[in-house]
Structure 1
Amino acid sequence: MAEESSTHSRSSCTIESTDGVTIDARVYRPISDNNSTNVVAVLVHPYSVLGGCQGLMRGIARGLSNRGIIAVTFDTRGAGKSTGRASLTGSAEINDAISVCKWAVSNFKTNRIILVGSSAGAAIAGSAVDQVEQVVGYVSLGYPFGFTASILFGRHQKAILQSPKPKLFVMGTKDGFTSVKQLENKLKDAAGHHITHLIEGASHFQMEGPAFDAAMVNLILEFITTL
């Protein structure tokens, strides 16, 4: 299946995870070969247990490919057409993110992967960052750092906070899972270079919606230029 537009094409593929799960993925490619950065963006969707799927990342993927970046979205295990079973804490899904990154390195002959995660996907992506040498940067869209969310996703935090790789944390100031203060406290002792971008008045789920896709694309592209 290929979907054509004036500036990008979309194709479907399946990727084998490191532990035998089959992952359903989509690749968004720029039609013109203007990806001078040689960066491939791998996008990790929100919590599949609550209905998160790669379709939620489609707008950002399209936006990136329209601007010259190859973007890959995928359904984590148990979501969409991917096999296997979702885990409550997102721990098994780390394998999925690692596998897709390694597949992208091999298929697109790149050594520059940027991992972008939304909500619980940010926690999963953060745990994968240092597991793939070619990941050169990480973008979190609404990381669930808050106390209640940390009951499920707290085990992911150490990996990204201790990673020396460059990081961008984007969050709405009205995020119901993490307060601005909680975000600041978590990042106070984070390793490596990190940037915080707050979106005034935006809630957690608003920021996941299509109305913010263009803003997310601009922030990701801006971040890529700093790598």
Structure 2
Amino acid sequence: MSNYTVESTKVETSDGAKLHTRLFKPREETRNNLVVVLVHPYSILGGCQGLLKGIAAGLAEKGYKAVTFDMRGAGKSTGRASLTGFAEIKDVIAVCKWACENLSVDRILLVGSSAGAPIAGSAVDQIEQVVGYVSLGYPFGMFASILFGRHHKAILQFPKPKLFVMGTRDGFTSVKQLTNKLSSAAGRADTHLIEGASHFQMEGPDYDAQMVNLILEFIASLQ
């Protein structure tokens, strides 16, 4: 038997979208007052909360509440996905608000995967409970910036601790592009490179355990 349970609920956004949301909850009550909210990859390319199930389950096994959700237009959520991810910022804010109101927590770690990273990054300064941010494969490259470039400013100016995880063979962002972008970042901006991993490969279950460990190490550094 696993050491966690999964509960499903619907969270409504400020503009009326209803988001299918899952809470991964440790069976034994923990004393930490932090929840990890995970934001999935690009809905238009098939991104959904199921891609983050392994990471959320791994965190719950280690004693942390974790929340995944389908952004508008994905999975069982209502509404329509947007091309540039700006409507989805409301989704992140709504889920974080729900978490604080219902889970007895006052600290949030926001984790965004692929296109979920810029979307989560644009929400950080609108959620006062966010104490840190983790990006898994932020698409900083030139082509991806056509869609997501306007998201960059918010996360680069965010003064709280940030961790950027990326494969060295990421097809959307080179190591040099990542380094150049983070050179102007405010506050603490750590990087962790995964040798030989490509962008979509890193989204797969083979890397879930490594992502969980990196997130746990980052949480420990926030204490």
Superposition TM-score, scaled by structure 1 size: 0.97
Structure-1 separation of matches of 2:20 and 2:40? 13
Alignment of 1:84-99 (within 5 A): 84-99=79-94
Give secondary structure in 2 for the equivalent of 1:42: strand
Identity of aligned residues (%): 70
Structure-2 separation of matches of 1:188 and 1:145? 13
Name 1:6's counterpart in structure 2.
2
Give secondary structure in 2 for the equivalent of 1:218: helix
| 1:75 is the counterpart of 2:65 | no
CA RMSD of aligned residues (A): 0.7
Structure-1 separation of matches of 2:15 and 2:154? 21
Structure-1 separation of matches of 2:213 and 2:111? 13
Amino acid at match of 2:83: L
Q: Which runs of 5+ in 2 are unaligned?
A: none
Name 1:164's counterpart in structure 2.
159
Name 1:113's counterpart in structure 2.
108
Give secondary structure in 2 for the equivalent of 1:165: coil
Name 1:30's counterpart in structure 2.
26
| 1:21 is the counterpart of 2:30 | no
Name 1:155's counterpart in structure 2.
150
Shift in Å, 1:6: 2.4
Amino acid at match of 1:72: V
Name 2:203's counterpart in structure 1.
208
Name 1:177's counterpart in structure 2.
172
Name 1:187's counterpart in structure 2.
182
Match of 2:34 among 15, 33, 39: 39
Give secondary structure in 2 for the equivalent of 1:87: coil
Shift in Å, 1:20: 0.9
Match of 2:48 among 46, 53, 60: 53
Structure-2 separation of matches of 1:213 and 1:13? 24
Give secondary structure in 2 for the equivalent of 1:214: helix
Shift in Å, 1:164: 0.6
Structure-2 separation of matches of 1:18 and 1:144? 27
Shift in Å, 1:165: 1.4
Shift in Å, 1:85: 0.3
Shift in Å, 1:103: 0.5
Amino acid at match of 2:41: P
Q: Which runs of 5+ in 1 are unaligned?
A: none
Structure-2 separation of matches of 1:140 and 1:96? 17
Structure-2 separation of matches of 1:6 and 1:206? 26
